Chains A and B, each alone.
Chain A
């Protein structure tokens, strides 16, 4: 028999939180490092790419988590991501157009401010899908 679903879910969330915290920490370390590095230098490039392996780890953890879920939870994740992915593209388009329209220079569209915005459609999708199957 498989491990109880609730236990699996707990382990998944714990691993995701750890991977997420590591990625965010790597991002802020990279930002600090970039400010001290000479622009367009090898050091600046290394600093800019520092979060990539951490994001890879986060992605791997998420995929492993989804694979460990039961079939209904996988369906819920699929439906949530079907909402979140196009919304993330839309947000990127809108932010780009807002930049072109002159709404920039105030840090309003800085990545740290955008992350919650990108996560919102995913959470919205999760809530809608969970309610659908509740």
Chain B
């Protein structure tokens, strides 16, 4: 799922490990979300949104092929 997690993390000066600790997940999970290989669950997406103080739709967007499905 396309997302701006890497950009937001960089803006806060956090490493993947820092963000993973704040979210209570593994660094691999953060990396997989950033590289769009793994779509987070809704609760995790909400936690990410809350951490950055943004609405979910400002961080995550649907890929065009997912919209057409």
- B interface SS class: helix
**Contact check: which of B20, B31, B44 meets A71 at CB < 8 Å?**
B44
| A1-15 interface with B by 8 A CB criterion | 1-6, 9
Tell me how far the C-beta of A133 lies from the nearest C-beta in chain B, rounded to whole angstroms: 4
When chains A and B are docked, how far (Å) is the Cα of A71 from the Cα of B45?
A: 12
How many chain A residues have a CB neighbour from B under 8 Å? 16
* A134–B38 touching, CB < 8 Å: no
Please indicate which of the listed interface residues A2, A9, A72, A73 has the most CB atoms of chain B within 10 Å of its own CB.
A72
Tell me how far the C-beta of A71 lies from the nearest C-beta in chain B, rounded to whole angstroms: 5
* B24–A133 touching, CB < 8 Å: no
* A72–B28 touching, CB < 8 Å: yes
* A72–B26 touching, CB < 8 Å: yes
Tell me how far the C-beta of B63 lies from the nearest C-beta in chain A, rounded to whole angstroms: 17
| B1-56 interface with A by 8 A CB criterion | 20-22, 24-29, 31-32, 37-38, 40-41, 44
CB-defined contacts of B40 to chain A, threshold 8 Å? 71
* A1–B21 touching, CB < 8 Å: yes
* B21–A72 touching, CB < 8 Å: no
Starting from the known contacts A5-B26, A6-B26, A132-B37, 5 additional A-B residue pairs (CB-CB under 8 Å) come to A4-B21, A5-B25, A71-B41, A72-B29, A73-B29
What are 19 A-B residue pairs whose CB atoms fall within 8 Å in the complex? A2-B24, A5-B24, A9-B26, A70-B24, A70-B25, A70-B26, A71-B29, A71-B41, A72-B25, A72-B26, A72-B29, A73-B26, A73-B28, A73-B29, A75-B38, A130-B28, A132-B37, A134-B31, A134-B32
